[in-house]
């Protein structure tokens, strides 16, 4: 639990006060167990803590973790979609330090538009002429996320840049793009089981599965290419039938100069969800990594304080 000594800066300015005080009453006794909260007693109890990991599964998970650890920690990465106007992301990483630029590529704003398809070099050249909609920096101790006004009212109506500052490394989920290659790494090996019903086209890979009541995750792993997860499938059980929620496929593997592999293409398919009323969707990403030397980063890439210039600070 986190206890705030005073309200965040944005709340203090909006509410014109630094503190909130209150009195709280609690009942003398609470529920004696989860069944008092309405959970059915007919549900099966699965104790994952008593499960022992198979040595062969431990070996696979540890191999994935080793390759994740061995991936270069100093690089520039790009992510873009050559099939539709969408986001473009440029990430600079220097060990624990991160600089992440997030752009929108919009056809109806010609001055901000990059005509597709494009190469990695063209993405780099285009990005140098644009102002990112979001800039995120982790300087080793604090995260700075700056939201810039965008010319399209459909994306933002904020009149001035805003910066959120936190004492952690929680940036965009794609700020560590290499970690997406090993989504099964750093999980408890005891939570996995072998996939016995793999489809024919995936039977040549290692298949690991996590079962969680009405949810499961399938990981198909390529042992010949650094144990990269080439297919990651999310399932949900509806009315006793397992249906796909989403599916990631990593293809077109490329080898870096030091020998590590990565997937230069990643496809996401999101399947219809009747509960949410959503239809079929997805994305097709192109991914490019370039290993960098110490002096090849933008000079101020990891100086988070620079993002405060001319912006309203929301939290600190």
Q: Structure tokens of 298?
A: 């933008």
User: pLDDT (tens digit, 9 = 90+) per residue, 11-49?
Assistant: 555 566 666 666 777 777 778 788 888 888 877 766 555
Contact 225, 263 (CB under 8 A): no
Least confident span in 147-151, 215-219, 229-233, 284-288: 147-151
pLDDT at 8 over 60: no
Q: Structure tokens of 41?
A: 């007693």
Q: Structure tokens of 75?
A: 């690089």
Biggest CA-to-CA distance, the chain: 66
Least confident span in 63-72, 86-95, 109-118, 144-153: 144-153
Q: What is the 3-state secondary structure (H, E, C) of 222-272?
A: ECCCCCEEEEEEEEEEECCEEEEEEEEEEEEEEECCCCCEEEEEEEEEECC
User: pLDDT (tens digit, 9 = 90+) per residue, 45-99?
Assistant: 665 555 678 999 999 999 999 999 999 999 999 999 998 888 899 999 999 999 9
Contact 124, 78 (CB under 8 A): yes
pLDDT at 111 over 80: no
Least confident span in 64-73, 126-135, 145-154: 145-154
Tally Cβ neighbours within 10 Å of residue 304. 23
Which pLDDT belongs to residue 15? 62
Share of the chain above pLDDT 70, in %: 86
Contact 314, 164 (CB under 8 A): yes
Contact 73, 94 (CB under 8 A): yes
pLDDT at 170 over 90: no
Residue 127 pLDDT class (50, 70, 90 cuts): very high
pLDDT at 156 over 90: no
What is the DSSP secondary structure assignment for residue 55, as one 8-state letter? H
For residue 74, CA distances in Å to 77, 93, 203, 290, 303 come to: 10, 5, 35, 9, 16
Tally Cβ neighbours within 10 Å of residue 156. 14
Residue 58 dihedral angles phi and psi, to the nearest 5° = -55, -40
d(CA 276, CA 253): 35
d(CA 282, CA 271): 8
Q: Structure tokens of 111?
A: 């001055």
d(CA 156, CA 145): 15
Which pLDDT belongs to residue 2? 47
d(CA 164, CA 60): 39
Higher pLDDT: 280 or 22? It is 280
Over residues 266-293, mean pLDDT: 91
pLDDT at 112 over 90: no
pTM (predicted TM-score): 0.78
d(CA 289, CA 263): 10
Among 20, 31, 90, residue whose Cα is nearest residue 290: 90
Which pLDDT belongs to residue 253? 97
Higher pLDDT: 106 or 283? It is 283
Among 64, 277, 296, 308, residue whose Cα is nearest residue 181: 64
Q: Is 240 left (phi over 0), alpha (psi -120 to 50) or beta?
A: left
Tokens 């219809």 belong to 272
CA 214 to chain centre: 23
Annotate 167-223 with DSSP letters as a single string. Answer: SS----GGGSGGGGG-TTTTS-GGGEEE-SS--GGGTTSEEEEEEETTEEEEEEEET
């Amino acid at each position: 639990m986190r206890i705030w000594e005073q309200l965040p800066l944005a709340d203090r300015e909006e509410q014109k006060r630094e503190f909130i005080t209150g009195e709280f009453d609690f009942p003398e006794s609470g529920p004696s167990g989860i069944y008092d909260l309405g959970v059915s007693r007919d549900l099966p109890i699965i104790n994952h803590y008593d499960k022992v990991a198979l040595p062969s599964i431990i070996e696979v998970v540890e191999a994935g973790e080793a390759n994740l650890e061995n991936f270069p920690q100093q690089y520039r990465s790009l992510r873009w979609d050559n099939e539709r106007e969408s986001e473009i992301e440029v990430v600079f990483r220097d060990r624990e330090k991160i600089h992440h630029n997030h752009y929108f590529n919009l056809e109806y704003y010609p001055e901000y538009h990059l005509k597709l398809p494009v190469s990695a070099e063209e993405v780099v050249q285009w990005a140098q002429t644009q102002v990112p909609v979001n800039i995120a920096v982790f300087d080793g101790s604090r995260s700075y996320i700056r939201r810039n006004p965008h010319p399209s009212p459909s994306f933002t109506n904020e009149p001035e840049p805003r910066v959120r500052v936190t004492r952690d490394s929680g940036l965009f989920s794609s700020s560590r793009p290499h970690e997406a290659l090993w989504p099964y790494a750093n999980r408890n090996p005891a939570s996995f089981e072998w996939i016995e019903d793999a489809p024919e086209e995936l039977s040549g890979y290692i298949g690991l599965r996590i079962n969680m009541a009405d949810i499961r995750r399938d990981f198909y792993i390529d042992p010949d290419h650094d144990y990269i997860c080439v297919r990651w499938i999310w399932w949900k059980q509806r009315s006793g039938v397992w249906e796909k929620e989403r599916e990631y496929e990593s293809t077109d593997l490329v080898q870096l100069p030091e020998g590590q592999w990565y997937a230069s293409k990643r496809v996401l398919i999101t399947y219809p969800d009747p509960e949410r009323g959503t239809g079929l969707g997805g994305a097709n990403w192109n991914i490019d990594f370039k290993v960098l030397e110490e002096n090849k980063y933008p000079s101020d890439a990891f100086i988070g304080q620079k993002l405060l210039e001319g912006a309203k600070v929301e939290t600190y």
